[in-house]
């Protein structure tokens, strides 16, 4: 009986130590792998009913998204939600000239945009994602609520929109909170 109890104790201790080591490894990498898993699961969830064939292409955007989200201190899942609403994670030019999966609007007639004094080249996918994350950081710093953050991101400069538009932004903010609960637990 003692051997059995000893083996259970060793088994539990080993599990505990492995968990500590894993958590330490995740902390030392900034949780990058955890972000990749969260975004991968989110992309599958988002595309499962609407466009399952888009999921594979969307997952190619995850590594640069995490890189630039961390650079600008923005939640990668927040950017994933933005990509979902703005372009369904597709990289294309919109009807008004907005570019990339985050639909960043370039300066009129130019392939770039200046955000907080820094010029972002929107002719490349990396530049589009970097610019989208920089714009989100600016939106987060400029507004008080998540609905206002989504309004600022979408309008480019205003934290408050008309009542119909703000109801859409409130829905986006609620959706983001729901996704945080679902995937960040």
pLDDT tens per residue across span 90-141: 888 888 888 889 988 888 778 888 888 888 888 899 999 999 999 999 999 9
Residue indicated by tokens 């989208």:
132
Task: Answer yes or no: do 165 and 91 share one domain.
Answer: yes
CATH number of the domain to which 41 belongs: 1.10.530
Segment 28-71, tens digit of pLDDT: 444 567 999 999 999 998 888 767 778 888 899 999 999 999 99
- 120 contacts 49 by C-beta, under 8 angstroms: no
Residue 69 has phi, psi (to 5 degrees) of -65, -45
Task: Answer yes or no: do 7 and 67 share one domain.
Answer: no
Domain range enclosing 20: 1-30
Name, in order, each residue with C-beta under 8 angstroms of 99's C-beta and a sequence gap of 6 or more: 93, 105, 106, 122, 123, 128
Closest CA to 116 of 145, 90, 137: 137
């Amino acid at each position: 009986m003692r051997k059995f109890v000893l083996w259970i104790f060793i088994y539990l201790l080993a599990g505990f130590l492995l968990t500590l080591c894993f958590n330490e490894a995740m902390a030392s990498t900034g949780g990058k792998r955890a972000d990749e898993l969260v975004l991968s699961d989110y992309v599958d969830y988002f595309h499962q009913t609407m466009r399952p064939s888009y999921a594979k292409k969307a997952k190619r955007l995850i590594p640069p998204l995490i890189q630039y989200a961390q650079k600008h201190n923005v939640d990668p899942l927040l950017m994933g939600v933005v990509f979902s609403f703005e372009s369904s994670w597709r990289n294309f030019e919109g009807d008004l000239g907005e570019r990339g999966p985050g639909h960043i609007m370039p300066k009129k007639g130019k392939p770039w945009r200046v955000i907080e004094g820094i010029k972002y080249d929107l002719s490349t996918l990396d530049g589009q994602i970097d610019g989208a994350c920089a714009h989100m950081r600016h939106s987060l710093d400029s507004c008080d609520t998540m609905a206002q953050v989504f309004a600022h991101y979408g309008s480019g400069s205003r934290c408050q929109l008309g009542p119909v538009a703000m109801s859409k932004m409130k829905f986006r903010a609620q959706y983001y909170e729901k996704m945080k609960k679902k995937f960040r637990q």
